[in-house]
Amino acid sequence: MSDTPGIVVLRECMVFVHSWMSALLGTDRGKKSSFSPVALGILYMSYFHKIKMGDIPGKFNISRSTATDYVNNLEKRGYVRRVKDESDKRDIYIIPDKKGEKWILETETAIFSFLNSRLSVLSQDEQETFLSLLSKFTGYGDGKDHECVLMETLKTVFLMKSEVQTENRIESERVCDMVRRVYEKKREF
């Protein structure tokens, strides 16, 4: 596939989806953004999963003090709060506060609306095929926890042997050149 324009189209689609999601999540405003990706991850995890303060560093590959800073900031702004476990007082859970719950629900409503509008351009069969292929592409639904899939992917990307990284860098440069040529052709029209 890397020798075809398909990789260029895939990359452009990923950029568009990332841009749309950044706008929906409010992370497209640079320094004026309400949330960093880690803060956003903590807020989402606190809403959808039971998360202990001590688990945050491992889940986001950050230090304990950095995790504390993120949670302190979210707590100060009213998005989350700390709650001690009744059965083990050493465990502190991070749960969304009313403001955090409201933000999640509003954001999820916007995302749901966006996804429905984009899926509506596809027939029912196309939607099923698209979702099946997307699930296969992302590894979602193969029985693995989505966090494990993400961590495996990140490890693969960041911990590759140097010769593979060099090969991938050369391939990336080639793809970037291909993207530039596609854009140059578009500008000619």
For 27-86, how does the pLDDT look when each residue is reduced to its tens digit (9 = 90+)? Answer: 766 656 677 888 888 998 899 888 999 999 988 888 999 999 999 999 999 999 999 988
- The set of residues, in sequence order, having a beta carbon less than 8 Å from that of 19 and lying 6+ positions away, is 28
pLDDT at 62: 87
What's the rounded Cα separation, in Å, for the pair 137 and 145? 15
Q: How far apart are CA 52 and CA 73, in angstroms?
A: 17
Q: What is the DSSP letter of 32?
A: G
**Average pLDDT over every residue of 85-90:** 86
For residue 176, what is the enclosing H or E element?
Answer: helix 162-188
Those residues whose C-beta lies under 8 Å from the C-beta of residue 21, and which sit 6 or more positions away, are 111
Task: Pick the more confident residue, 21 or 157.
Answer: 21
Quickly tell me which residue has 């954001």 as its tokens.
Answer: 107
Please say if the pLDDT value at position 144 is more than 70: no
Domain ranges of the chain: 35-104
**35-104 is classed CATH 1.10.10.10:** yes
What pLDDT band is residue 162 in, cutting at 50, 70 and 90? very low
Calculate what percentage of the chain has a pLDDT beyond 70: 66
Q: Is the pLDDT of residue 161 over 50?
A: no
108 to each of 10, 30, 71, 72, 128, how far by Cα in Å?
25, 21, 21, 24, 22
pLDDT surpassing 70 at residue 102? yes
